[in-house]
Structure 1
Amino acid sequence: MRIIRNISFAGLLCMTYGNILAQTVTPSADSLVVSNADLKLIVDSHTGRVSYLFSNGVRLQNTIATVEELNNGKLSSTDFSQHKYTTTPMQDASGRGVTISIIHSDPSRSLKLEQHITVYAQSPHLLLDVQATGDATLESRNISPLTIIPEQQAYLFVPGNAPRILDVPFDNDNWVPVVTRQWPSASGISYEFTSVYDQHSLSGLVTGSVTHDFWKTGFRYGAAKETGRIDSFIVYGGAATADDKSLPPAYGGLDGTHDHVPHGTMLGKTVTSPLIYLAAGTDTRKAFTTYGQVNVQLAGRSEWKGDAPFYWNSFGVEGVLGNTRVMMPPGVIKTSDFIATLDNFNKYAPPVLSVDSYDQSIYTTSLLTSLSRYGQKKRQQMGFYFIPFAVWTWKNSLDNPVGGTQTPLSDVVLRDKNRQPIMYKEGDWACYPIDPSHPATKASIIQQLQKAKAIHATFIKIDFLSAGALESSTRYNRNTRSGMQAYSEGLKMLRSLVDSIMGPDVFITQAISPMFPHQYAHTRFISTDVYSHLRDDQPGFPHWGSTAASLAAGSHMWWMQGTLWPFTNLDVIVMKSFQNNPELTEQEIKVRLYAMMVMGSILGDGSDFRQKIAAERAKKYLNHPAVCAWFSHPVAFTPVSMSDGDTQDQQMTFFRKGDTTLLAMFNFIKDKPFDASWQTADVADKRHYEIRDFMTDAVLGEISNGQSSFTLTVPPKDALLVKLVPRD
């Protein structure tokens, strides 16, 4: 077997010189070894397998790359007879390092695989992909830059007494939870990113896709009997999964991509996988933050200058505003009048009157313009809601034109493998996904944005975006070959239209949507709509949309604030009741408010302030000076203990260091107090502190100089937010 080693002398000097770059590259007849303080990577020259040994004990042994090509079938890197490698010094926004190229070839095969692995000198993360290249055109809907399967004597191992696998749904629809899976029976698919880590130490592995312009990326896992060991771990572009209502929502039922068609194929003489981030360290929270930063380095993000928006949203009052006559236009006027009385709520960005889904026969463009002008006199802005990539209409009424066009919906709707229209949301009143590449879709978006401009909107909520990412057997633009490609191009088009029609200073929040691409909005819902009741299993309330469920998901997504988006969005709080749900207690409102704070969420409210109790509570909570000051520049707290499993009985802790350190503790257990223990060194310096309640400023205790730990008790179904105030 022929082995080629191509490592320049200058490159070696660059990688090993002094203390600047502590990286070594060691070739031999049998292997290539690249190492730094965090990692040793070994390429087996005989088999082409790659092993990753991290300093925290995480190990990925005998990994391979694979591609399923429509004409050649499934091929793995070990199916080729020759494995040649080269190394090239590199530098990008993450630092200096070396890129390893491993070419797997065979004289008997018409294509070759080429893996690329970038190892940084002073960072524990890597970037890796694989591409298939041939003389003839290749076509694939499944390609994996990292595969672990038992047939290759391969495994992934994470040390620790309580290992977990983080399982993330593809989007934030259907109130599907983010769950952590335990040994020995854990198996499933996480989408776009995952983590395998120890629940107690938070040491472990983080991996995720950092390119989102063609592939939906899946992380298919299967745990071994040995605790901490995974025998099957396949990272692949081409995830397209159907809903299966016979299964629990988070376990294959509704957590996938909702597709009715296999993933679209990449076509060309070169087919490339998604670029994958891979990192391991003693603190997976740092690895997740870096993951977010790498996504931004590659794709950018939307920035927001000035204070974060405060907004009122009509959906908390009525599902379709005006449709059931719950709130007619005079009610919106009264809402505007009341908001104007909240001096602290009005102290920062002008509050937004955000009309959500609305009855267009009542809330006409002319009427909305009048409301906008009324609000402007009270230093208020107008918000606007629309659905760019889907149409709600009566079932089977596909002959009706798409709004703003003469094109029938039947020409624009996405279609299943039998070329039948896909129903994104089923029912007599149904939601149909439309093709982001179709000119009628663009024309419809233009019409909506012109309406938003006419009413002087400065805040846009876009919803049901996942419809645009669905795979389809037909498309207007035949060069758009996958759902994610269509969605990515559609979002880019949408943002360009917003900027050109409405101007650059329009705040965009995504509601139901995939997590990526992230760069076209300023924030995104962490979970599906939140109704502010404490738990999903609460009698009298819907079994979804609770504070417990939304924060459980958010506890694994806190890192997105400040990386992917300037802010997160944990939906609106309500002061009395969400639509027709039962009345909330003040304790539930306080817990909900604290959950929004720790997630770095913008402040939104969905209350009917015509109700006396809602108005009185708003004065206490929404107009609280410290609350308003925080939400003017919200920042996510760092979790100490995140949600575990899929139960509602979660106990979670968070902290935010600053001039005044804040500690947050949540106890969603119904009948037991939560003794939250803190290590002083983790959250404070060696000083004397008073522990004060965030809302009341009451002294709850103190931390003496040199005290190593302290405990705070949270009653059942409650939360505690405190500040550490230095006293010397």
Structure 2
Amino acid sequence: MSKFLATSFRYLVISLLLLICFHPLIQGANKKIKNNNWEISYQPSTRTIDYSYKGQNILKGTFVKAKVNTTEIRSCDFKTTEIQKEKINDGVGKGKKYTITYSDGPLSNIKIEQNYYFYSSKEYFLTEVWLCSANEKITSNYIAPVYTSEKNSFLPQDSTNRVLRVPYDNDAFVSYLSAPLKEEGISFEVTAIFNGISRNGLVIGSVEHDTWKTGIRYQGENDRYITHLECFGGITHELTRDISDRSDRPSKEHGSVRGTRLKSPQIFVGYFNDWRKGMEKFGEMNAAITPPRQWNSGTPFGWNSWAAMATKVNYEGAVDVADFIKLELQPNSFENDNTIYIGLDSFWDNFNEEQLIAFARHCKENGQKAGIYWCPFSDWFGNADGFVEGTDQQWKYKDIYLYANGKPRKIESLAVDPTHPGTKSRMKHYIEKFKKWGYTYIKLDFINNGSLEADSFYNPDVTTGTQAYNEGMKYLSELCGNDMFMALSIAPVFPAQYGNSRRISCDTWGAMSEQGWGTTNYMLNSLSFGWWLDRVYTFNDADHILLHKPEEAENYKEGANRARITSAVITGIYMLGDNFSTKGSIPGSEEARRKAVSLVTNKEINEIARLGKSFYPVEGFTAQSPEKAESMYMMETNKYTYIVIFNFDITSVKEGCLDMRRIGYSPNKHIEGKELWTSTPVISDHKGLQYSVPSQDVRVYRIKK
């Protein structure tokens, strides 16, 4: 009898422990999760969830929306809800995980599990959704952890309210948009909805990029309301390059995942006093979940052949450029860690193999590192029956193409399957050759081809473009190793862990508008709203800058060139692009050399570039139109606050007084510093920093802390 009682007691204890650990925390009318300053409230009348922060409603009427096979389901159509809680300690930190399980829905074999992750040291939370099948495997190409069509308002009615569109990639001169809160649109991977004056704002986006392309659909109204917000995995769009009305570019919807438990992307949700800091926190969370590619050296300074030499890059000319930089620029502060990168862009095959080896050797003798260019997921020649390099004629190009509806996929070049052994053999063939020749920096272009959706992939376990991109880029990154700098050019914003840098916009080395240095304005649009990407890449890349173009002399005056240089040094990588050669088949000009010697040897400006950090906008809502750039940027170090002011106007001087409270200073605090291009002292009074910027020029103020 005593043995029976002991056994019964043991089972009772175990049962009680299980109840403590796994029993639903809250049942009945008021189901609430409270953690830090957030409250997640289940509303039984609508079966939806409200999010509030510090007692303020942020989003109400949210629910999960998804597609199971061909059927659309919503969590608000499920009748039974349970909430469970557990402690967590993962790569992000310590905290609590809450799981809301929805059952008894329109599909009897399906449950929805929504997880909420709260961390003790974080003022935001993460959420994700699992679609769970009781028995048979299911498919889905759409899961939205956050969906609401309620009329939400968490900002005052104000003309400075904005909603941010982040583009999927940087192809075709796409811009970021900081649009008034009264428009409909789609952002990719993340958005911010904020007030320009107070800077309060919501940041919401995906922090996982292994399977899905994430979209955020929004609808603003009357400079105040969000009447639709939908954050979901499964976006395809003309801006993901998957949808097109061109006959040579077939369209394809997002690939489907398959199994008995299907997971959405994990979504970051945060409400911040300063949306700019919120975007940086979003970047940091991405980096915590998937760490950036390792780089232990400083910011690359250097030169790239594409802007001026372009298709006519040649051995004698490139060697002469390297020597000019060695003799005239490197001794005068245009260097970092005593290193300069000299990069051959497309058409490096104008060189023969002997010249390619000799060029890399010559750069090394100059204290420089040689760079080269390649497109790992592109076939530019369209020879479908041609054999793939490095495959011993085992594969033809038509074997490795991606197909949509039976037709080869294409953005600018034909796209190849990142999971195909022929593609991987081709990668190995070229990367080993580049290394053998002596190249330690590689610019990788048009790699958005590798993220396209397709009818199928060689690897049967891969069913989405993002999965394929991850497989191909992981293999490429391993081939390059940590001793080769991987500079991503035309590429998706995410996944980010495969590049040491990524070009923040498209080509920016020439003027493309009547406003002179228009592409500098365009690049600064990307910096204005994408600066936070230096949290997920070691460096943002402003692209190589051009200082001399005889046929457009009016657009390349000294002031505009100062602005071009400044745009690069406050973004990240610092690359020149002029033809500085006096030899070879297309010699440049002495004027290009003179401008470089005059402008890129400013030691205090170059010190900013060595920091390798992107400046952020002082405001974020003052761009003249949604796709244009902010004119004021800032960055803080332990010693200084830097303020950069551009004047985009063609004729007028830009004058004003910056309220120092907007950069965190007391209005009566004494300010000491100087402007770094003119070496003039900072002028300040009780109102703030007085500035005067000539037309098409820039001023860089360095203020002592």
Counterparts in 2 of 1:375 and 1:122: CA distance versus 1, 3 Å:
closer
- CA distance in 1 between counterparts of 2:237 and 2:627 reads 25
Amino acid in the other structure paired with 2:656? D
Question: Aligned residue for 2:11?
Answer: none
Question: Aligned residue for 1:587?
Answer: 559
Amino acid in the other structure paired with 2:470? S
Find 2:578's aligned residue among 607, 619, 624: 607
Find 1:339's aligned residue among 316, 322, 325: 325
Question: Aligned residue for 1:716?
Answer: 695
- CA distance in 1 between counterparts of 2:365 and 2:554 reads 35
- CA distance in 2 between counterparts of 1:581 and 1:240 reads 42
Are residue 691 (structure 1) and residue 673 (structure 2) matched? yes
CA shift for structure 1 position 54:
2.1
Assess if the C-alpha contact under 8 Å between 2:141 and 2:256 holds in 1.
Answer: yes
CA shift for structure 1 position 157:
3.9
Find 2:86's aligned residue among 80, 85, 88: 88
Question: Aligned residue for 2:545?
Answer: 573
RMSD: 2.8
How do 1:512-551 residues align onto structure 2 when only pairs under 5 Å count?
512-533=490-511, 536-538=513-515, 546-551=519-524
Q: SS of the residue aligned with 1:699? A: coil
How do 1:229-628 residues align onto structure 2 when only pairs under 5 Å count?
229-242=225-238, 260-320=251-311, 322=312, 327-341=313-327, 342=329, 343=331, 344-346=333-335, 348-360=337-349, 362-394=350-382, 397-405=383-391, 406=393, 407-417=395-405, 419-425=406-412, 431-499=413-481, 504-533=482-511, 536-538=513-515, 546-561=519-534, 563-577=535-549, 584-599=556-571, 601-610=572-581, 611-628=589-606
Counterparts in 2 of 1:236 and 1:674: CA distance versus 1, 3 Å:
farther
Amino acid in the other structure paired with 1:658? N
Amino acid in the other structure paired with 2:339? P
- CA distance in 1 between counterparts of 2:591 and 2:677 reads 19
Counterparts in 2 of 1:648 and 1:50: CA distance versus 1, 3 Å:
closer
Question: Aligned residue for 1:179?
Answer: 177
Runs of 4+ in 1 over 6 A off after TM superposition: 5-12, 578-582
Question: Aligned residue for 1:668?
Answer: 648
Counterparts in 2 of 1:114 and 1:647: CA distance versus 1, 3 Å:
closer
CA shift for structure 1 position 34:
2.8
Question: Aligned residue for 2:145?
Answer: 145
CA shift for structure 1 position 122:
4.2
- CA distance in 2 between counterparts of 1:454 and 1:338 reads 26
CA shift for structure 1 position 684:
4.7
Counterparts in 2 of 1:127 and 1:337: CA distance versus 1, 3 Å:
same
CA shift for structure 1 position 580:
8.6
1:70-97: CA deviation from partner (whole Å, max 9, x where unpaired): 25x0000011111111122223454433
Counterparts in 2 of 1:528 and 1:213: CA distance versus 1, 3 Å:
same
Assess if the C-alpha contact under 8 Å between 2:348 and 2:372 holds in 1.
Answer: no
Amino acid in the other structure paired with 1:145? P
Assess if the C-alpha contact under 8 Å between 1:532 and 1:589 holds in 2.
Answer: no
1:145-181: CA deviation from partner (whole Å, max 9, x where unpaired): 11012xxx46464335121111121100001110122
Assess if the C-alpha contact under 8 Å between 1:310 and 1:349 holds in 2.
Answer: no
Assess if the C-alpha contact under 8 Å between 1:667 and 1:674 holds in 2.
Answer: no
CA shift for structure 1 position 38:
3.2
- CA distance in 2 between counterparts of 1:640 and 1:720 reads 14
CA shift for structure 1 position 622:
1.9
- CA distance in 1 between counterparts of 2:355 and 2:514 reads 40
Assess if the C-alpha contact under 8 Å between 2:524 and 2:630 holds in 1.
Answer: no
CA shift for structure 1 position 302:
1.6
Counterparts in 2 of 1:408 and 1:652: CA distance versus 1, 3 Å:
same
Question: Aligned residue for 2:195?
Answer: 198
Q: SS of the residue aligned with 2:540? A: coil
Counterparts in 2 of 1:630 and 1:243: CA distance versus 1, 3 Å:
closer
1:454-502: CA deviation from partner (whole Å, max 9, x where unpaired): 2211111101010000001132112110001000111111101112xxx
Q: SS of the residue aligned with 1:285? A: helix
Amino acid in the other structure paired with 1:171? D
Q: SS of the residue aligned with 1:131? A: strand
Question: Aligned residue for 2:166?
Answer: 168
1:626-678: CA deviation from partner (whole Å, max 9, x where unpaired): 23333233222232123644354753332434312211112223344242513
TM-score by length of 2: 0.89
- CA distance in 2 between counterparts of 1:353 and 1:287 reads 37
Deviates more, 1:663-672 or 1:330-339: 663-672
Q: SS of the residue aligned with 2:310? A: coil
Counterparts in 2 of 1:106 and 1:484: CA distance versus 1, 3 Å:
same
Amino acid in the other structure paired with 1:654? M
Identity %: 25
CA shift for structure 1 position 40:
2.2
Equivalent pairs, count: 667
Assess if the C-alpha contact under 8 Å between 1:166 and 1:179 holds in 2.
Answer: yes
Amino acid in the other structure paired with 2:639? D
Q: Where in structure 2 are there 5+ consecutive unaligned residues?
A: 1-15, 582-588
- CA distance in 2 between counterparts of 1:143 and 1:651 reads 39
CA shift for structure 1 position 354:
0.5
Amino acid in the other structure paired with 1:597? V
- CA distance in 1 between counterparts of 2:528 and 2:629 reads 14
Q: SS of the residue aligned with 1:457? A: coil
TM-score by length of 1: 0.86
CA shift for structure 1 position 532:
4.8
Q: Where in structure 1 are there 5+ consecutive unaligned residues?
A: 13-24, 246-251, 426-430
Question: Aligned residue for 1:16?
Answer: none
